[in-house]
Amino acid sequence: MSGGAGRACGSSGSPSRAAAWSLALIALLGQSARGAALSSHIVRSTPVTSGSLIIGRAVCPGRVWLLNEHLDLTEITPATLAASTHAVTGFHRDERPWGLACSADQTIWTLPAARTLARLTSSGKVVDRRPLGVPITALFAIGDRLLLAPAPPVVGFPLLATSLPARPDERRAWPGLLGRAAASRVDLFARNLVNCGMAFDRELPCWLTDATEIVVSDGVQVRRISMPFVNQADIDREAPIRDVALIERSRAWVLATSARMVNGRRAGGRLFLVADGHPLADLLLPLNSRLIVAADAARCVLLTVDGHLIEVNAR
């Protein structure tokens, strides 16, 4: 196994004038009445990643990592919008990796298979494989611990558990999302698919994929934030929440899934700024977006389906 060859995506680019004007016009036309407080503009027109499905996002201090199905590992620096991509090497031929997580020591972890945890170097090399005693179907991180979804889900019990990367089988239940009952064993898996967003401090927002409620947990305290307003006509009711970034204890950016697929895939179509469970503002995005790259109280940077970065500002 050799280290992946660096494939720089180029440095931060500025949009051409025509593209910028077009986008501004589309953004203006696309704003809803309630979205008056939000505006968007393109901040990087050079694609940071290919169109390949993103199967994991890890948030390290000052850096965001993305892993896609083509097994490209992309590093984005939100402060400068610089990005670089490396081909990941070291996965076995029969492996279908999933998930990406950055622990407090800035090591990056993924699941090459349901029963294997592995560390990725920043150049995309798979190192430090660790067998897992129980299959894991989702991987996130909070602080120095990995957040794992063991399979099969158990009805009425936490769907997520944490462990130190060094001892992945010593799991501690993560209170918050509980396994939901299903009419059949097959539905048990489908109804308990979990996703998590970007943390604020020690609090991580997670949700069941068909729910309009996010559950914020710090491992001890749990808060449930219901967001029925997400269920609008232009939102996908099977998987309404695409991504969430907690920006303060009571505030979050919520990317809702468009009812229209883009190239056969789900994509974010509307962005909400939420406080205490109430929408402060929302914006019909000028470009469908895949996920949140970075966020704070004033802005939210999104990766579009074409690989560009757009910034939504709260006024």
Q: Note the residues at the interface with another protein (CB under 8 A).
A: 53-55, 57, 69, 96, 98, 114, 135, 137-138, 151-152, 183-187, 189-190, 193, 195, 209, 238-239, 242-243, 265-266, 290-291
Report the residue number, 152 or 228, with the smaller CB distance to another protein. 152
**Could you tell me the smallest distance in angstroms from the CB atom of residue 185 to another protein?**
6
**Could you tell me the smallest distance in angstroms from the CB atom of residue 113 to another protein?**
9
Cα separation, 163 vs 54, whole angstroms: 24
Cα separation, 240 vs 255, whole angstroms: 9
Report the residue number, 252 or 291, with the smaller CB distance to another protein. 291
Report the residue number, 169 or 187, with the smaller CB distance to another protein. 187
Report the residue number, 91 or 98, with the smaller CB distance to another protein. 98
CA distance between the termini of the chain: 50
DSSP for residue 201 = T
Residue environment code for 129-162, b if the CB has 16+ CB neighbours within 10 A, otherwise e: eeebeeebbbbbbbeebbbbbbbebeeeebbbbb
Cα separation, 194 vs 255, whole angstroms: 16
Report the residue number, 34 or 130, with the smaller CB distance to another protein. 130
**Could you tell me the smallest distance in angstroms from the CB atom of residue 55 to another protein?**
6
Cα separation, 215 vs 208, whole angstroms: 9
Report the residue number, 103 or 195, with the smaller CB distance to another protein. 195
Beta strands in 63-212, from DSSP E residues, in sequence order: 63-68, 72-77, 82-87, 98-102, 108-113, 116-120, 126-131, 136-142, 145-150, 158-163, 172-178, 194-196, 204-208
Cα separation, 206 vs 217, whole angstroms: 8
Query: Taking Cα atoms as reference points, which of 4, 54, 40, 52 lies closest to residue 242?
Result: 54
Report the residue number, 183 or 233, with the smaller CB distance to another protein. 183
Grouping H, G, I as helix, E, B as strand and the rest as coil, residue 302 is strand
Please name the residues in contact with 184: beta carbons below 8 A apart, sequence gap of 6 or more: none
**Could you tell me the smallest distance in angstroms from the CB atom of residue 290 to another protein?**
4
**Could you tell me the smallest distance in angstroms from the CB atom of residue 69 to another protein?**
8
**Could you tell me the smallest distance in angstroms from the CB atom of residue 114 to another protein?**
5
Quickly count: other Cβ atoms within 10 Å of residue 104's Cβ.
13
**Could you tell me the smallest distance in angstroms from the CB atom of residue 239 to another protein?**
5
Please name the residues in contact with 8: beta carbons below 8 A apart, sequence gap of 6 or more: 84, 85
Report the residue number, 134 or 280, with the smaller CB distance to another protein. 134
**Could you tell me the smallest distance in angstroms from the CB atom of residue 211 to another protein?**
12
Report the residue number, 27 or 206, with the smaller CB distance to another protein. 206
**Could you tell me the smallest distance in angstroms from the CB atom of residue 25 to another protein?**
27
